[in-house]
Structure 1
């Protein structure tokens, strides 16, 4: 009796132990190999009709895989073998305007919470902080000592403005002379400046000359930053005597290092007529070409050295010779460029 009971226990425990070991009991009857399965198009795959037995799930019956199935199971899974088309999950960027409902909310919704007076002050402060500020800026572009043949001299060229991003009051002053002699030229400009492009201002106002003669001019010009970082200042002047002249200046900062900067500079003066009392001839009056090397101890403070050549041209050269002056002068300069 004991022997019979032991045989029955062993017979019932064997399948359970085999399943715990990860094995399944084969069917005594051989099953035919599955037919070659064609790979369906990823977009047309019907997952509800997939043969899960071919995916390696344990169904209680193990079919010997053929070569095609063995190749598929031996290859590592890659993103390219995924049945999901991730490209169809990307939402297209709309090119049409937003729907009308996007702006249907109340324009002053915060007023209901904080009150109209509080929000009015907040909006005014926001406009001020995002472009409504006013600034004062002053620059000594060229303040220099000039060593030259026949007597050393000096020159100043300063400018500045007060205002905001769009509208400014702009002021400029230039002058030069030789030590121990009367000043050769001095002028002051007061201009209204209006931004007409991201890097250019249109300017209009008056210019007052104090030397060599007192004379008042109406001014219209343009100033800004041209492509390739050229700083341009061009203006036309109509005097109270009816004389029409023009001036064009251009500068370019070439950084050798973050502090050492080479600056070529050019200036031409033009006239629509002869002005003998000022030594100005018709056409091209004067031309200047120079180069300066400055070192910025701070962005606001930069001494420099350089050389500049001046020419009087045409009738202006004749006026200079008549006054005992050389129409061509070379200046060796040392100066300071600063701003605040």
Structure 2
């Protein structure tokens, strides 16, 4: 596992201490004056089985979830996402973040990300923006940095269109860019991968909705070259079925 150099570690510890102090102290004082209770929530956006149209034997399972606790202004957030196929975890990550509101629809977030897969595992520092872009597009823009001087810029966006009071159509997209090649993990510099999906959910309850949809994945540049070298496809169209829920 990669380890941070001492200067970066010290800076991250200082930032974490300041953010945690802000999370715990300021809202507590505010709560005494303005009724700002501690609130928690778990949201599982994706919990789905995928059927690849390129490889009939491949039926990966994918997940994406977020849990948070905090107040109106500051929150402690945990995020995870990943994918398993053929009994093997192909990708899995966990993020721990401090999220603070800076505008009515926008938050700044800072923290750490740990990649369990693909191996070897590695750690990243995280800084980013999360919020609601114009036209009610949920947006997540993050910059990840390792002590190995690798960088990863990730942009995710999702929109929910209410077709009826219970039917919800949700197009989503994600794009990843990297600062340099990483042959060990099969990652190339520049635009590395893009994912686009459309899911149709039926809200049995507001908190619980099974869905079906289609998902498209594409790799580019050196990342695609690494995939070809391993005998893997550079693009895939998948039929998906799953459930999303929150409480």
TM-score surpassing 0.5? yes
Contact 1:215 / 1:240 at 8 angstroms: preserved in 2? no
Pick closer, same or farther for the CA change 1:125–1:169 going to 2, 3 Å: closer
Q: Match for 1:267 among 167, 171, 174?
A: 174
Aligned to 2:217: 310
Per-residue deviation, 1:126: 6.9
TM-score, normalised to structure 2, is 0.84
Cα distance in 2 for partners of 1:254, 1:333 equals 19
Per-residue deviation, 1:125: 7.4
Per-residue deviation, 1:179: 2.6
Aligned to 1:251: 158
Structure 1: runs of 5+ lacking an equivalent: 1-123
Aligned to 1:195: 101
Aligned to 2:116: 210
Cα distance in 1 for partners of 2:44, 2:134 equals 24
Q: How does 1:41-190 map to 2 (within 5 A)?
A: 127-129=33-35, 132-148=36-52, 149-150=54-55, 151-180=58-87, 182-190=88-96
Cα distance in 1 for partners of 2:178, 2:61 equals 25
Cα distance in 1 for partners of 2:203, 2:59 equals 26
Aligned to 1:231: 138
Larger radius of gyration: 1
Aligned to 2:19: none
Please give the root-mean-square deviation of Cα atoms over the aligned residues, in Å: 1.5
Secondary structure class of the residue paired with 1:318: helix
Per-residue deviation, 1:290: 1.1
Per-residue deviation, 1:128: 4.1
Structure 2: runs of 5+ lacking an equivalent: 1-29
Q: Match for 2:128 among 221, 227, 247?
A: 221
Number of aligned residue pairs: give it.
215
Answering whether residue 224 of structure 2 is matched by residue 320 of structure 1, we say no
- Quick check: which one's helix share is greater? 1
**Residues 97-156 of structure 1: per-residue CA shift (max 9 Å, x gap):** xxxxxxxxxxxxxxxxxxxxxxxxxxx877342xx2110011001110001132111100
Secondary structure class of the residue paired with 2:228: helix
- Quick check: which one's strand share is greater? 2
**Residues 241-266 of structure 1: per-residue CA shift (max 9 Å, x gap):** 22111111000001100110101111
**Residues 175-214 of structure 1: per-residue CA shift (max 9 Å, x gap):** 102133x211111000011100111110000001111121
**Residues 214-245 of structure 1: per-residue CA shift (max 9 Å, x gap):** 10000001111111110001101001322111
After the TM superposition, which segments of 4 or more aligned residues of structure 1 sit over 6 Å from their partners? none
Contact 2:31 / 2:37 at 8 angstroms: preserved in 1? no
Pick closer, same or farther for the CA change 1:125–1:195 going to 2, 3 Å: closer
Cα distance in 2 for partners of 1:318, 1:126 equals 58
